[in-house]
Amino acid sequence: MPIAQWLREHVFLFEGSTRSVALLRVLAVCVAWSRLGATLVPDGEMGAMAWATSMVFWASTSLMFVGLFSQPASLAVGLTTWVVYANHGDFGTADLHAHHVLAQALLCCLLSLTPCGRSFSVDRWLQGSRALPERGELWGLRLLQMQLVVLYAGAVWEKSYAGWLSGDRMLQVLMNIYLGSDPTGWLTQVVAVSIAWGTVFAEGGLALAVLFAPSFRSRLGAYLFGCTFHGLVYFLTPVSTFTATMAVWLLVLLPTDDVHRITERLLRPTKGQAPSTKSRQLPFLLGAAVLLLLPIYGRLVPTVPDGSGFMTLGEDVCEVRWPDGPAVAGTRRDVHKKVCGRPDLPSNPAIRCVVEGSWTDTKLTKLCRRLPKTAKRRESAR
């Protein structure tokens, strides 16, 4: 078959069910919220551009999630994610300039080129009986698949150097996370080389599966393999949301009509035996009693929260005021970062912090003493 004809049939005019791209749409938003939600909550330290990005992000992700103006919303989510990636300094954290954020932006931008609002969406519900069939031109899906191939092929290319293939780079990772700095033996070297080569083969295999896997079974197998591979990386190393992004993105492996068939089967009502009418009064009353007693139990046992929640939220705040300057406020840790070790700031500010529930005046030396290491409250470990 001539290439031009093949491209026409299988790419430019490729049609299929829109349910898989609709699922991608919903799940991509969940990942976006997970990664960027905390960062993009507006606060007093954000500049105007960051505020605007935040507003657009929350509006567009909400629309994308429920499927209202789905394609423009997807584009807006992709663009705001890219803005966060490119201008990470405005959002206060350098780890936003990372591959997993860029991957998220690409996914959403490419989704906007698909009819992702034609299924599982408010767009569809509003159209009522005028709704188009759940089939559409899916050249955008082909772009998603091609980007996936490029992503994995690029990963293989990036790893094709002596430092990786010899296992040395993986050994560094293992020593950094698990083994410490003591010299390692031959067994560890074998494990490192195996993981290094295994990663290359896994990523290469996934790239080839997107292009050449012939059947639904083989593609499903590749999808499950891909999720397991990324899941293992997430389990063993301190990575962020790339695993979740890829678990969503890899859905493009599955043939669209098979996804439609599966969802159809899950949605189709099933006739079955009438539910049992046996009384469940006793288990209900027992369960309700346990649930009602839990907050009281929590107050008696120090290891269990008292059930009311958030009693310590905000109880570590400090406020710093200068006679001729703006005031600084926030958690003790945040104020510490803003004020301590800053010779440019005027001296002798008025400082007060909440200590054991009450505002207490304190001095700069006391505020700026070394803070004990505790888990950072909102730093994501994802």
Q: Footprint of other proteins on residues 326-365 (CB under 8 A)?
A: 327-331, 334, 354, 357
CB of 177 to other proteins, least distance (A): 5
Q: What single letter denotes the amino acid at residue 333?
A: R
Residues 32, 106, 108, 134: which binds other proteins (CB under 8 A)? 134
Using rule CB under 8 A, residue 93 touches other proteins:
no
Instruction: Give the H/E segment covering residue 152.
Output: helix 139-158
Residues 25, 124, 159, 219: which binds other proteins (CB under 8 A)? 124
Residues 3, 94, 214, 276: which binds other proteins (CB under 8 A)? 276
Given the complex with other proteins, which of 190 and 285 has the nearer CB atom?
285
The contacts of residue 60 (CB under 8 Å, 6+ apart) are 73, 74, 76, 77, 80
CB of 148 to other proteins, least distance (A): 21
3-state DSSP call for residue 277? coil
| Choices 95-103, 136-144, 262-270, 341-349 (CB under 8 A): range interacting with other proteins | 262-270
Using rule CB under 8 A, residue 187 touches other proteins:
no
Residues 285, 325, 346, 363: which binds other proteins (CB under 8 A)? 285
| Residues facing residue 321 across a β-bridge | 350
| Closest of 245, 63, 67 to residue 144, by C-alpha | 245
Given the complex with other proteins, which of 27 and 207 has the nearer CB atom?
27
What is the chain's length? 382
Using rule CB under 8 A, residue 183 touches other proteins:
no
Alpha-carbon gap, residue 56 to 183, rounded angstroms = 51
Using rule CB under 8 A, residue 381 touches other proteins:
yes
φ, ψ of residue 144 in degrees (nearest 5): -60, -40
φ, ψ of residue 154 in degrees (nearest 5): -65, -40
Residues 281, 347, 348, 365: which binds other proteins (CB under 8 A)? 281
The first and second tokens of residue 133, run together, are 């069939």
Binding string to other proteins for residues 201 to 240, with x set by CB under 8 A, is what? ------------------------------x--xxxxx--
The first and second tokens of residue 249, run together, are 């993105």
CB of 7 to other proteins, least distance (A): 27
Using rule CB under 8 A, residue 6 touches other proteins:
no
Per CB under 8 A, which of residues 287..326 are in contact with other proteins?
287-288, 291-292, 294-295, 302-311, 313-317, 319, 321
3-state DSSP call for residue 12? helix
41, 77, 88, 275, 302 from 84: Cα distances, Å: 13, 11, 5, 51, 41
| Choices 39-47, 107-115, 149-157, 340-348 (CB under 8 A): range interacting with other proteins | 39-47
Alpha-carbon gap, residue 20 to 136, rounded angstroms = 11
The first and second tokens of residue 239, run together, are 């990575």
Given the complex with other proteins, which of 279 and 348 has the nearer CB atom?
279
| Closest of 73, 76, 68 to residue 127, by C-alpha | 68
Number of residues that bind other proteins (CB under 8 A): 89
CB of 58 to other proteins, least distance (A): 8
Using rule CB under 8 A, residue 133 touches other proteins:
yes
Alpha-carbon gap, residue 69 to 49, rounded angstroms = 24
